[in-house]
A and B are shown apart, each in its own frame.
Chain A
Amino acid sequence: MRIGLFKLASCSGCIVSFVDALSREPELINKIRIVSPFFDDKYMCEYYDMVFIEGSVSRQEDIKLLKEVRNRSKYLIVLGSCGLYGGIQKISSNKNKPVSHIVKTDYVITGCPVDGDRVYVILKKLLIGGLDIKIYESVCSECKRSNNTCILVLERKPCLGPLTRAGCKAICPAYGRGCIGCNGLRPDLRPEHVRKYIENLRRKGIDLGVYELFIKTLTK
């Protein structure tokens, strides 16, 4: 099975998570061939069973590459927040677009970075011929499943968990830190919902001002 692995504007962190997923089961390497500039000089091929893309789209070359690999691949999967909504670099330049603005995407693995366990599960499902069911929850649902104490309700710490897509195992609240929304806005929410949330918390005496920049990434 041929797997393409490419990056656009990003930090390569999700590629490291992809390697992390492979390390869960080293025998997987007998079943797949990775076609990627990270691995090989020959990084383009006629046909890919699946292509994973990390990063936001900021250049004409990126658009060309995305169209090329989309045409040659059965599945195109976005790895991480940069490809999902433009990532943190969207703050400094509106040029950074999500991958879905350019080509049709089949699946998004959320995260900044994506979780290696999650990539491993998706990879295993793809290897038997199917894609995972898309379920989009908030970080709160992961907190509940992990029995985390709600830091927003009980400790009155600013937290963007209710607005943010799940996928990170609610790792920041698990260690007593507020969620900064790095997984991106829940797909059923709009910027006006974010503003309403900020206003509701302010009325209850919780100021989200410190997360101003991260809120911008959710609403810009």
Chain B
Amino acid sequence: MYSDLLTRIEGEGRVIVEVLNKHVRVKLYFTEPKRYFEEILKNIDVKVGIDIVSRICGFCGISHVYAYVKAFEKHVEIPHEIEDFRKIILYGERIKSHLLHTCFLYLPDILGYNSINELVNQKPELFKQCLKSINAIHYFLAIVSGRIHNIINMRIGGVYYYPEEKEVSRIMSRIKHVDKCIDIIISLISEYAILFKEKHSYKTLYIDIIDNPFYSNRIYCDNKLLSSDFENNIRAVMKKGSNEKRYIVCNKIVITGPLARYNAYYMRLNSETRQWLREHGINTYLYNLYSSIIARLAEIKDSLIGIRGFFEKYKKPQIKTINVKNPDGKYYAFIEAPRGVLYHRYIVENNRIRDALIITPTQLNAEAMEKLTEKILSINIEKYSFNDLRRKAEMLIRSFDPCLSCSVHVVNGGI
């Protein structure tokens, strides 16, 4: 492996930090091996693709599955019983993904530790609490979706089963571990508030979540609405030595993910979540990239409230699925995956996929990971030694929660 490997991220990547003429240069290389999912999807039956896209990513595979089914459900209205239950699965994935990042990958940075092992040594009880909350959310996902990823319980038109009422009560008792964990973490990071003071300016990319917190056919780039013309407003960029195809939207450097969602929809957070944030000194929008951890914690809290609200009045629905036909044509969906906007687009002929395009949050964030990091560190160049600059660069990149397996599925439009 490489000496400049960027550790504590999903997948394999390198980061090179240089100082040239009092300016910091950051180069990010996605060395994660290519897996060509867009090619694998070509010519397969529409019914089968769901089990392929779920294997793009072990962290956010449920969002890929949901993007796939929502794209192919464009001609039908899904009964609210089905859709409400599927949202619960998505809440589960959001909590799982955010916990993995918050507890393991990013928390050592905030606390000034070099590794998860240092976190284990210095704060063993906290680490165990993190594991308990991971266990609780994995248990939840196993009940509602069959397993923690590569889930069984979703299909075009609906789901395969609903959990029994007695299983739901077991979920509710276990899930308290997650509440306890995020309470501890938000109290702990408030001791490091100075880190979140500096104001960073950035533009955002997010979907319209008014009807559904996870799905829309409308997307906003720097507050401008794009929808069916999304592909006309993106530019693919490839870099020598890096396996990803990154995308620039509307020729702007934008960020997508929890921070973008938090700021766009702060007033749509549950009032209980906003109260919880206020109790920990967070009263308003977040302008600082390091504070993506706060946005994640807020989304975990909000998701827990969503899950509780759903299960408190849970009665096993009768309808599991509706019939969906997919005539020839174009199908697409925008999803808010844990790391941000996820776009799936398919061209279908005779029930087979003729062409697939999958754009993931990390591909959309890649440019911002380099350029915003350069900008923020160049302003502070006098304050830091080179080692500190490198450390801060790694931390800023990690704050995006990059998911490299999601980003290397196709190169140059083919193999």
A11–B33 CB distance below 8 A? no
Q: Is the CB of A38 within 8 A of B7?
A: yes
A175 near B45: Cβ-Cβ < 8 Å = no
A210 to chain B, nearest CB (A): 5
Which residues of the other chain, A, contact B104 by a CB distance below 8 angstroms? 19, 39
* A30 B135 Cβ-Cβ under 8 A: no
Chain B 190-205 interface mask (CB, 8 Å, partner A; 1/0): 0000000000000000
Task: Tell me which of A21-29, A99-107, A131-139, A187-195 binds B.
Answer: A21-29
Given known contacts A37-B1, A62-B33, A172 and B152 CB-to-CB distance under 8 angstroms:
yes
Evaluate contact between B160 and A177: CB separation under 8 angstroms: yes
The segment from A84-92, A121-129, A141-149, A198-206 that touches chain B is A84-92
A33 CB to closest chain B CB (Å) equals 6
Cβ B150 vs Cβ A13 within 8 A? yes
Q: Is B35 an interface residue (CB 8 A)?
A: yes
Tell whether, in the assembled complex, residue B147 and residue A24 are in contact, meaning their CB atoms are under 8 Å apart. no
Q: Which of A13, A17, A93 has the most CB of B within 10 A?
A: A13
| Chain A proximity of B257: nearest CB distance (Å) | 18
| Segment with Cβ contacts to A, from B55-63, B224-232, B286-294, B327-335 | B55-63
Residue from A12, A14, A23, A182 within 8 A of B10 (CB atoms): A12
Contact B135 A177 (CB under 8 A): no
Residues on A with C-beta less than 8 A from B161 are 175-176
Output the nearest chain B residue to A35 by Cβ-Cβ distance: B117
User: How far is A49 from B286 in the complex, measured between Cα atoms in Å?
Assistant: 45
**For residue B100, which residues in chain A have a CB less than 8 angstroms away from its CB?**
16, 19
B48 touches A175 (CB 8 A): no
A164 within 8 A of B: no
CA distance A43 to B7 in the complex (A): 9
* A1: interface (CB < 8 Å): no
Question: Which of these, A14, A23, A112, A212, contacts B138 with CB under 8 Å?
Answer: A23
Q: Which of A16, A59, A61, A91 contacts B40 (CB 8 A)?
A: A91
B61 touches A59 (CB 8 A): no
Q: Is the CB of B117 within 8 A of A16?
A: no
Any A CB within 8 A of the CB of B8: yes
Q: Which B93-129 residues have a C-beta within 8 angstroms of A?
A: 100, 104, 114-117, 120, 124, 127-128
Main secondary structure of the interface of B (DSSP, over half): loop
Residues of B within 8 A of A211 (CB): 48
Shortest Cβ distance from A139 into chain B, in angstroms?
13
* Chain A, 19-71, CB within 8 A of any chain B CB: 19-20, 22-24, 26-27, 29-30, 33-34, 37-44, 55, 58-59, 61-62, 65
How near does chain B come to A53, taking the closest CB pair, in angstroms? 13
Asked if A171 is at the interface of the complex by the 8 Å CB criterion, the answer is yes
Q: How far is the CA of A113 from the CA of B8 in the complex (A)?
A: 21
Q: Contact mask B17-60 → A, CB, 8 Å, 1/0?
A: 00000000000000011111101100011011001100111110
B218 contacts the other chain (Cβ, under 8 Å)?
A: no
* CA A16 to CA B103, docked complex, whole Å: 13
Kindly provide the distance from the CB of B306 to the nearest chain A CB, expressed in whole angstroms: 22
Return the CB mask of B377-391 against A: 1 if under 8 Å, else 0.
Answer: 000000000000000
Q: Are B128 and A19 closer than 8 Å at their CB atoms? A: no
Given the interface pairs A38-B8, A40-B7, A41-B115, the reply to whether A13 lies near B58 with Cβ below 8 Å is: yes
Asked if A7 lies at the interface with its beta carbon under 8 angstroms from chain B, I say: yes
Whether the Cβ atoms of B52 and A39 lie closer than 8 Å is no
A10 close to chain B: CB less than 8 A: yes
Task: Tell whether B186 is near chain A: CB-to-CB under 8 Å.
Answer: no
Contact A39 B57 (CB under 8 A): no
Pick from A29, A39, A172: contact of B131, CB under 8 Å = A29
Question: Top 7 A-B pairs ranked by shortest CB distance?
Answer: A13-B58, A23-B135, A40-B115, A9-B33, A26-B128, A92-B36, A26-B131
Given contacts A12-B405, A19-B100, A24-B135, 15 further A-B contacts (CB under 8 A): A7-B12, A9-B32, A11-B57, A12-B10, A16-B59, A19-B131, A26-B135, A33-B117, A43-B1, A92-B37, A93-B36, A113-B149, A175-B160, A176-B161, A180-B51
Show 28 A/B contacts (Cβ-Cβ < 8 Å), sorted by A. A7-B11, A9-B32, A11-B61, A11-B405, A12-B11, A12-B58, A13-B55, A17-B148, A20-B135, A20-B148, A26-B127, A26-B131, A29-B128, A29-B131, A37-B5, A39-B7, A40-B114, A40-B115, A40-B116, A91-B40, A92-B35, A92-B36, A175-B160, A175-B161, A177-B160, A212-B44, A213-B40, A213-B52
A residues lining the B interface (CB < 8 Å): 7-17, 19-20, 22-24, 26-27, 29-30, 33-34, 37-44, 55, 58-59, 61-62, 65, 87-89, 91-93, 112-113, 115-116, 171-172, 175-177, 180, 182, 210-214
Measured CB to CB, the residues of B under 8 A from A are 1, 5, 7-8, 10-12, 32-37, 39-40, 44-45, 47-48, 51-52, 55-59, 61, 100, 104, 114-117, 120, 124, 127-128, 131-132, 134-135, 138, 146-150, 152-153, 160-161, 405, 415
